[in-house]
Amino acid sequence: MKCALKTLEKVINNIIKSYNRKILLFGGVASSKFISKFLMEKYKGLVYISKPEYALDNAIGVALIGQKG
């Protein structure tokens, strides 16, 4: 979990530095309470996390694509 968090921090820092944009995170990783709480506190007003019902993993979609192949 900490490895994913460190990677997200690097990406977020680069986006903020390069583009000065606010960031919306969603998906499986963003649904982690540990990650979302940390990022919301560290990047208050710059990073937003989607509601859990919109932060589902895309494994089903990937499985369906694989089944068609």
What's residue 69's pLDDT? 63
Q: Quick count: other Cβ atoms within 10 Å of Cβ 31?
A: 19
What pLDDT is recorded for position 55? 67
Global pTM reads 0.70
Q: What is the pLDDT of residues 55-68, one digit of tens each?
A: 666 677 777 788 87
- Transcribe 36-50 into DSSP letters: HHHHHHHTTTTEEE-
Unique residue bearing structure tokens 């499986």: 28
Quick: pLDDT tens for 6-46: 999 999 999 999 999 899 988 777 778 888 899 999 999 99
DSSP 54: G
